[in-house]
A and B are shown apart, each in its own frame.
Chain A
Amino acid sequence: MEEIRRRVISILVANNAGVLNKVAGLFARRAYNIDSLSVGETENPDTSRMTIVVHADDLTLEQIKNQLAKLIDVIEITVLRTAAAVLREHVLVHVETDGHRADIMFVVDTFRGNVVDISQNALIAELTGSPSKISAFIKNLKPFGIKSLVRTGVTGLQRGDTM
C-alpha cells in the first residue's frame, strides 16, 4: 500500500446549478475524505475552479481522478504538484486580548498578518499564507484564548506555464 498523504486537486467545472452538490456527493458516496474544498468563479464566468484537499494513497487518488472525470460538468482535473504550486489559505481569528494585546500584536506582526477589527477585550486578526503557516499562526494565538476562527480552505495554482 502506498503512503496516504495530502493531495491537492484542482478542478475546472461548468458553472451549472448543482455542480457543487454533484462533486461533493461523489466524494461522500465513494468514501473519499475531503480535508477542505474551496470554490469560486474563474476568469470565465461560465466556469468555476474548485480546490479540493484530500488524504489519499496513489490508488485512491487515481480513482478520485477517474470518477471526477466521469462527471459531465467537470472540464479539467489537475493534481497540483505541491513542490511547484502556489497554495494559499486565508484565516480570520477572533482572539481575546485580556491585557495581552501587545503580545498578540507581536505574533500577528511576526506572521505578517493584519488586525482587521479591535474591541475592548478582543480583536480579529487575518492572515493569508500556506496551510502550514496558517496552522502555526493559530497555534501561536491559542494560548491567548481563541473565541472563534474560520479558515477558507486551500486554493492553489500550478506555477509557471504548467497549468
Chain B
Amino acid sequence: MKLSGADIIVESLIEQGVDTVFGYPGGWILHVYDSLYRYSDKINHILVAHEQGAAHAADGYSRASGKVGVCLATAGPGATNLVTGIATAYMDSIPMVAITCNVNRGMLGKDSFQEIDIVGVTSPITKHNFIVKRPEDIAPTIRRAFEIANSGRKGPVLVDITKDATGEEAEFESLVGAASCRPSAKDLLSDAKDLSSAGGKMPPLQTSSTFTDKDIYTAVGMIESSEKPLIFIGGGVISSDAGEQLAELQKLVDAPVTHSLMGIGGFDRTNEMSTGMLGMHGSKVSSLAIKNCDLLIAIGTRFSDRVTCNTSIFAKNTKILHIDIDRAEINKNICVDEFILGDVKDVLTALNKKLKPAKHDTWTSSIKEWKLQYPTAIQSDHFTAQEIIRTIGDTVDRDNTVICTDVGQHQMWTAQNYPFTTPRTFVSSGGLGTMGFGLGAAIGAKISCPDKTVINITGDGCFHMNMNEISTAVTYKIPVIDIIINNNVLGMVRQWQRMFYDKRFSNTTLDKKTNYDMVAQGLGAVGVTVRNQAEFKAALETAMKQTDTPTVINCVVDPDLTVFPMVPPGADVEDPIME
C-alpha cells in the first residue's frame, strides 16, 4: 500500500516491535510527529525536556531490557543534542536507533535553517549511519539500522531522513507476520550480490560467532592446565545474556570471578568466589587475584584503561585467554596468548560442554582469606555514601530493582558496595563517563521494566546537569527514585586535586544554594532532604510505595569522602592505594 514516508517510519518501527520512542518535535520532523499523532494507539511517544534526555532514555531502555532503544529528534540542534547520548551508547556497545530529520533534499548543502550534517557529526560515534533522501528507501534502511544495531558487537545507528522524503509517498508492505522482520545472515549474503537493492547497497554483516572446535579445545587445554585461574568479565556477558553460562563456567573451573564496571551483574556479587571489581577503583582482592593467578580468562571485555591501568605491566605474570565478539578488540590494548571469537553465550555454551569439573582448593581458599582480610568497605556509623548504598541494597528487592548512576564518586561507591546479583540491574555510563546520564536512563529503564523499582544514584554535580528530566517523569507518572549523594563538591575531580594537585580545589567546590526539595516539588515530584540513616531508610521506603510520582531524596553527606581503593595514573593495578 502507498504511505507517506513519515507513516513508513512509524510502520517500520512498529514492525520492529518498538513500543516506545523518546523524542522532541521540531519543524523538520513535523510529518513524523503528525504520523505519531495518528498512530498513538500503536506506539507510545515520551516527550522529554531536552533531546539529550531522549538519547539517554533510549539507552537506559535498552540496557535494562536488552531491546533496541529508539530516539527521535529534528534537524540541527535537535540532532546535535542527541550526540552525547549516542556517544555514550557507542562506548558501551548499547543497541540504539536514532532517527533525525533534515532539511529538504534541494536545501542540503546550502546552510539552510537548522541544517547540520549529522551523518558527518555522528560518523565516529555510531556503528553505522545513513542519510535517506527518497521515501522508498526509508523502510529498508530502518530494517537495516535495527539489524546493524542489534547484531555482532551492538551499538547505536543513526538514520537521517530529509523532510521531503517523509512527506512523499512510497509503497510499503509490513513484514509483521512474515517469516522474520530481520533478514537472516544468509539473506544478507545473497543480497550482497544485488548491491543495488533499495535503501543503499548492503554488504553482508559479519556473522557473530566464527569460532571453531579447535579454538574450544585450545581453550579447554589452557584452562585444564591452570592451577590458579581467574575469570574476568565485562559488558559482553550482559549484552549476550550469558549470566547462566558464566555461572556454570565458574562452577566447572572452580575459579574466582572479577569484573569491570560494565560487567556488573554478570556474576552474583554475593557469591563467595566474587572478588569484586577490577581496575582503578577495584577491590584489593581483585588486585591480589590478578597478581597471583596463572591464567586470566577475560570474557566480553575490551581491557579498558580504567581496568588495566598501566598496560605495559598489566597481568604480566599470567597467561591470558580472551573471549570476545569483536576481532578488533583482540591484541588492541593487551596482547593475549589465545583468543576465541564469538558471542559470549555461544562460546561459553560450547566451552562448558567440553570442560571437566576441576577443583582448586588452595587457590580458592587464598581468595576467601583475602576477602576476610580486605573487606569491601569499612562499616561506619556515619551517614556516608557507602552506608547509603548498603541501605539501598538491604531495603529493595534486588532482583527486581534497576540501579542507574551518573558519573563520579557516587558511581564508584555504587559499583563497589551495592550487592548486584543479576544482569541488567546496573545501568551506568562506563566508557564515556557521561555526567547527567542517570536520570534519563532511569526513565527509559522504568518504561522498559515497569514492574521493577528503578533508582538513580547521582551526585549534586550530575543532578544539576539534567535535572530537567524530572519534569518528564512527572508528566508521564514514572515513579523513578533519584537519590542525590550531596557532598556539595565535584567529589571525584576534587579527590584528584587533593591527591595530585596539592589540594588546589579549582572549581570543584560547588557551594550551590539549590533547595533540592523545592526544585523537585516545583517540577511536580516529591522532594525530601535526609541527614541520617533512619531518615534515609524511611524516605526510601516511602518513595518505593509511590506508583505515579517520582521522588528526589537529597542525602547531605561529608564533602571530603574519598573513593578507595584507587590505582593512581600510571601505577600497577596490582598495587592500589587503600586509604
The interface of chain A, by Cβ under 8 A from chain B, is: 14-18, 21-22, 25, 29, 44, 46-47, 59, 62-63, 66-67, 69-75
Please tell me if the beta carbons of B200 and A16 are within 8 angstroms of each other in the complex.
yes
In the complex the two chains form, what is the Cα distance from A47 to B195 in whole Å?
A: 8
Does the CB pair A72–B128 fall under 8 Å?
A: yes
Q: A14-B202, A17-B131, A72-B205 are in contact. Are A25 and B124 (CB under 8 A)?
A: yes
B residues in contact with A71, CB < 8 Å:
128
18 additional A-B pairs beyond A14-B203, A18-B131, beta carbons within 8 Å, are A14-B200, A15-B201, A17-B131, A18-B123, A21-B120, A25-B123, A44-B195, A46-B201, A47-B195, A59-B331, A66-B328, A66-B330, A69-B206, A70-B127, A70-B206, A70-B326, A72-B127, A73-B203
Q: How far is B327's CA from A25's CA once the two chains are assembled, in angstroms?
A: 20
Minimum CB distance partner of A13 in chain B: B203
Assess the B205–A46 pair: CB atoms within 8 A.
no
Question: Are the CB atoms of B332 and A63 closer together than 8 Å?
Answer: yes
- 5 shortest interchain CB distances as A-B pairs: A66-B328, A14-B201, A46-B195, A72-B128, A75-B203
CB distance from A62 to the nearest CB of B (A): 7
Interface positions, chain B 94-151, Cβ under 8 Å from A, are 119-120, 123-124, 127-128, 131, 148
A70 CA to B152 CA, complexed, in Å: 10
Type the 1/0 row for B200-212, where 1 means its CB is closer than 8 Å to any CB of A: 1111011000000
Q: What's the Cα separation between A67 and B328 when bound, in Å?
A: 6
* Residues of A with C-beta under 8 A to B127: 70, 72
Complex CA–CA separation, A70 to B324 (angstroms): 14
- Bound-state Cα–Cα, A70 to B148, Å: 11
A135 to B177, CA, bound (A): 63
B43 within 8 A of partner (CB): no
Find residues 318-345 in chain B having any chain A CB closer than 8 Å to their own CB: 326-328, 330-332, 335
The yes or no answer to B196 lying at the interface (CB within 8 A) is yes
Residue B192, interface by CB 8 Å: yes
Query: Which of A15, A22, A29 has the most C-beta atoms of chain B within 10 angstroms of its own C-beta?
Result: A22
Q: Within the complex, what minimum Cβ distance (angstroms) separates B544 from chain A?
A: 43
A74 in contact with B119 (CB, 8 Å): no
Given that A18-B131, A21-B120 are contacting pairs, would A46 and B196 also be in contact in the complex, using a CB cutoff of 8 Å?
yes
| Contact status of A18 and B200, CB under 8 A, knowing A46-B195, A63-B332, A69-B328 | no
Q: What is the CA–CA distance of A55 and B326 in the complex, to the nearest angstrom?
A: 24
Contact A72 B148 (CB under 8 A): yes
Minimum distance in angstroms from A79 CB to a CB of chain B: 15
A14 to B188, CA, bound (A): 14
Contact A21 B331 (CB under 8 A): no
A69 and B203 contact, CB distance less than 8 A: no
Q: How far is the CA of A75 from the CA of B127 in the complex (A)?
A: 16
Q: Which residue from B123, B195, B196, B328 sits with its C-beta under 8 Å from A22?
A: B123
Q: Can you list 10 A-B pairs, Cβ within 8 angstroms, ordered by A?
A: A14-B201, A16-B201, A44-B195, A63-B328, A66-B327, A69-B206, A69-B328, A70-B127, A72-B127, A73-B128
A47 to B192, CA, bound (A): 11
Complex Cα distance, B326 from A73, in Å, reads: 17
Greatest chain A CB density within 10 A among B153, B201, B205 is at: B201
Residues of B247-273 at the interface with A, using a CB-CB cut-off of 8 Å, are none
A72 engages B203 (CB within 8 Å): yes
Chain A residues near B332 (CB-CB < 8 A): 63
How far does the alpha carbon of A71 sit from the alpha carbon of B120 in the complex, in Å? 15
Distance from B111 Cβ to chain A, minimum over Cβ atoms (Å): 19
Q: In this complex, which of B124, B192, B203, B327 has the most chain A Cβ atoms within 10 angstroms of its Cβ? A: B203
- Which residues of chain B are within 8 angstroms of A21 by Cβ–Cβ distance? 120, 123
A21 vs B120: C-alpha distance when bound (angstroms)? 8
Residues of A within 8 A of B335 (CB): 59
A46 to B202, CA, bound (A): 10
Q: How far is the CA of A72 from the CA of B202 in the complex (A)?
A: 8
- Residues from chain B with Cβ under 8 Å of A15 in the complex: 201
CA distance A74 to B153 in the complex (A): 16
Min CB distance A2 to B, Å, is 12
**In contact, A75 and B192 (Cβ under 8 angstroms):** yes
Given contacts A67-B328, A72-B148, contact A18 B206 (CB under 8 A): no
Tell me the complex Cα distance, A44–B196, Å: 10
B residues near A74, Cβ cutoff 8 Å:
203
B201 x A29 contact (CB < 8 A): no
Nearest CB in chain B: distance from A22 CB, A:
6
Question: How would residues 535 to 575 of chain B score, 1 for a CB under 8 Å from any chain A CB and 0 otherwise?
Answer: 00000000000000000000000000000000000000000
Complex Cα spacing A73 to B201, Å: 8
CA distance A66 to B203 in the complex (A): 16
Q: Which residues of B contact A16 (CB under 8 A)?
A: 200-201
Bound Cα distance from A70 to B155, whole angstroms: 12
Which residues of the other chain, A, contact B326 by a CB distance below 8 angstroms?
70
Question: Which chain B residues lie closer than 8 Å to A62 at the CB level?
Answer: 331
Residues on A with beta carbons closer than 8 Å to the beta carbon of B205: 72
Write the nearest CB–CB distance from A143 to chain B, whole angstroms. Answer: 44
Which of B119, B192, B327 meets A18, CB within 8 Å?
A: B119
A31: min CB distance to chain B, Å: 13
Task: Please state if B119 and A70 are interface contacts (CB–CB under 8 Å).
Answer: no
- Alpha-carbon gap, A46 to B191, bound state (A): 13
How far, in whole Å, are A20 and B192 apart by their CA atoms in the complex?
20
